[in-house]
Each structure stands twice: as C-alpha cells, then as structure tokens.
Amino acid sequence: MKKLLMIFAMVILCAGQSLAADLIIFSGAGLMKPMEELKKNFESTQKVTVDIHYGGSGEIFAQVGAGQPCDVLIPGAEKYTNDALKNGWVIKETIRPMVRHIPVIAVPKGNPAKVNSLEDLVRSGVRVSIGDPKAPAIGRVAKQILEKNKLWESVTPNISVYAPTVNQLLIYVALKQVDAAIIWGDMVVWAEGKGKLDVVRIPEDKNIIQTIPTAVCTKAPHKDLALKFNNYISSPEGLAVWKKWGYETCTR
C-alpha cells in the first residue's frame, strides 16, 4: 500500500512539474539529441521554459490518450500521429512531416559476428536485439522489416533482449552485449556509440523507412506557444538542426 502511495505521489509531482513549464512536449526517445538543441534554441529566443518528456512512441501515445497534459506530440513514426489524429488528439492542420527515420543494423566495432545483412541475423549464435514491438517505434518497424523479408520466425530465437527504447539498443551494441541491433541510422553520430559501432545498411527495397512528424495537441494547455514551437522545429532553421544530427529532411 505504501509503495502504491509513493508511486501515486511521484506521478502527481511529475504532473505538477510539467504544468509549471511554459510548454510541454512528448517526444520519442530516439529524437533526444536534436530535440534538446531545438529546445535550447526555442527557450533562448522565446524566453520560456520547455519540458520534454521522452519515451517510446507507444508510451507517449498512450499518455496523450490517458489525458496527460501535452502541447506538442513528436513520435518516432508517422503511424502514431495518424492514430492520434483519428482519435481526435492532434490538430490536422498542424501536422508537419519533418525528417526521415531510416532503420539500419548496428554492430559492435569491427563486426565480430560478421553480420552483413538481415539474413545474417538468423545464423546460429548471433545475439540480436530489437526494440519492444509494443513500445518504441523502432521495435514495431524492426518486426515489420523482418516480417517483410520473411525472417521474423527465424530471427526470433536469436533475440536476446527486447529494449523499451531505441537508446538502450545503442548502448547494448556499444557495450558488445549483443552482436547486432536494428536502430535508426541517425543515431550513429551520437557520442554514446561513436567509435564503438559499425553500420550495416539495409537495402531500400527490404527496408521500411519512417517519417517523423510534429503536431499540436487538441487539448494543448499552451496552444499559442505550441504552434510557435511546432512551426519552428519544422522550419528551415529547425530542419538544419535535424540535419546536423544525421536526419534526412522530407521531400514532401
């Protein structure tokens, strides 16, 4: 009972902290690097406080659905924004496709297990990690890629861990706890993995490339400021930050 009360108190405390901010953002965890820079820039120019909650796309989607205060929703895949629109949680006119999320296979530096393709993930003894298909966007996409190439059932016995966020997948590879993981290609520039991993590209016809959109929530507590932030991160100035962190801008 005491444990439940402590958890409830923590939820209330976190909600209070978010409400104290001038702007509340829910973002996919894999977008942390560009989002932190965009946040800093926006806070500096607008003289406001921005609170960003990072989590798996499934997690932040569920939190918006549960009614937690959120001004701008930025998941790691367009599916979640489309579902949010169907549910009436985001404003259609504010949806801005920004950059492409391209899955790759990350392997420890030197590629000790000699993983050079999706097909190599089925080899006996290869330790594979993917995101939880019900949590981060990369988990759902990784499963879809393997299913698309008729490899899911063969790879499943080699999956040693399902990660709740894409950030943890990067760490598993960098620390050589797994032989391969499907992550977003833009993450290879992150300091956590720099010099510690190699990248195996997935041919485009075998891959499933995602779009990262931003959208203002219909019940945004700070709608005017949310619209400004939404426009900024999808503007040429904002997209320059995304490109700096390895993302490809959308052509549509």
Q: Which two tokens mark 132?
A: 């939880």
CA 103-108-111 angle, to 5 degrees, is: 95
CB 192 within 8 A of CB 202: no
What order of strands is seen across the sheet that includes strand 159-163? 159-163, 128-131, 180-184, 103-108, 197-200
pLDDT for the residue numbered 19: 53
Q: Which two tokens stand for residue 97?
A: 């496709």
- Which residues touch 141 (CB under 8 Å, ≥6 apart)? 77, 103, 182, 208, 210
Q: CB burial class (10 A; 0-12, 13-18, 19+) of residue 218?
A: middle
Where helices occur in 132-245 by DSSP H, the ranges are 137-148, 152-155, 166-174, 223-233, 236-244
Say how many CA atoms lie within 13 Å of 144 toward its Cβ.
Answer: 13
Q: Which amino acid is at 44?
A: S
Specify the pLDDT at position 1. Answer: 45
Which domains, from first to last, does the chain contain? Answer: 2-99+212-249 (3.40.190.10), 103-200 (3.40.190.10)
The pLDDT value recorded for residue 8 is 38
pLDDT at 146: 98
Tell me how far apart the alpha carbons of residues 51 and 24 are, in angstroms, rounded to a whole number: 5
pLDDT along the chain (252 residues), means of 10: 40 49 94 96 97 94 96 95 98 97 96 98 98 93 98 98 93 96 89 89 96 97 98 97 92 55
**Predicted model pTM:** 0.81
Q: Return the SS3 of 112.
A: coil
What residues contact residue 237 under an 8 Å CB cut-off, 6+ apart? Answer: none
Residues in a beta bridge with 24: 51
